[in-house]
Amino acid sequence: MNERTALVTGANKGIGKDIARLLAAEGFTVYVGSRDPGRGQRAVEEIGAGARLLVLDVTDPDGIAQAAAQVDRLDVLVNNAGISPSLAQPTDTGVEEYRRTYETNVFGVVAVTNAFLPALRRAPHPRIVNISSGTASLTWSTTPNPQFTPTSGAAAYRSSKAALNALTVLYAQALADDGFKVNALAPGLRATDLNPRAAAAGGDPAEAAQGALRLALLPDDSPTGGFFSWDGTPVPW
Ligand code: NDP
């Protein structure tokens, strides 16, 4: 069977659902990752042809193993599931909030990526797209720039995405000789349920999904271990 398959974690809504929709339109069989079967099934029906439900809570090791056992070959993994519990400053953020945020945004990505590596290795041109955030850029956080107003808020979230960026580089290096491309995407502020600021001030999630699709379809001579904005421009670490 030569059908191309993709998995998008947290694809029952928001940016992930739009990424799944684009991959399905591109001809992929798309596993719509959702920790809630009902919400996931609704997204599958909305996306239509090519979409399949994969119940997947990225913080549940047994569930991840069960999900991975259902997928033989995986061409594209989009680590999209993420949470942003608060916009609190580091001075107001306790260890528990970091732990909870990293559990999904960092450890979840590690657990899912490692579990699906055997299936990715069966694909001829495996691609991993990690949905990061421009707010994780240490350069943008410390230098005046048009993309992002430096602030010190959302400490747990932003440091979790900075860790995800580091892991993107490390996985890219570890898997470069095996033909993988592993890159991180800064989707830009999008109107989703992620946090109150995103819901109030964000742009169209579908636009960000185009950026993820581009990284999912990278040709073999493309970069690996990079950090890109939704429009394809490199983001400084
Ligand atoms: P949403 O809140 O709309 O979607 C987040 C998705 O992640 C939901 O499907 C949610 O599922 C899922 N999710 C959360 N925790 C888990 C878990 N433990 N296991 C599986 N799925 C989980 O937010 P966005 O679409 O905005 O976020 C998508 C990605 O984009 C995130 O990584 C986010 O950090 C990133 N991003 C978003 C920006 C924005 O402005 N919106 C800006 C920069 C980055 P459920 O419905 O069950 O909660």
Domain that holds residue 137: 5-229
Would you give the end-to-end CA distance of the chain in angstroms?
Answer: 39
Average pLDDT, the chain: 96
pTM: 0.98
- Reported as a single tens digit per residue, the pLDDT across 194-232 is 988 888 888 999 999 999 999 999 999 999 999 999 999
CA of 10 from ligand 1 middle (Å) equals 6
For residues 56-82, average pLDDT: 98
Domain contains 47: yes
ipTM over 0.90: yes
In a domain, 235, yes or no: no
Does 234 reside within a domain? no
In this structure, what token pair is assigned to residue 227?
């950090």
| Residue 172 falls inside a structural domain | yes
If pLDDT is split at 50, 70 and 90, which confidence band does 176 have?
Answer: very high
> Which residues are within 8 A (CB) of 150 and not within 5 positions of it... i.e. 6 or more apart?
140, 141, 142, 143, 144
Q: What is the mean pLDDT of residues 69-91?
A: 97
CATH of the domain at 22: 3.40.50.720
Q: How many domains does the chain have?
A: 1
Residues with CB under 6 A from ligand 1: 9-10, 12-16, 35-36, 39, 56-59, 80-84, 104, 108, 131, 133, 187, 189-190, 192-194, 198, 202, 205
**Position 192 in a domain:** yes
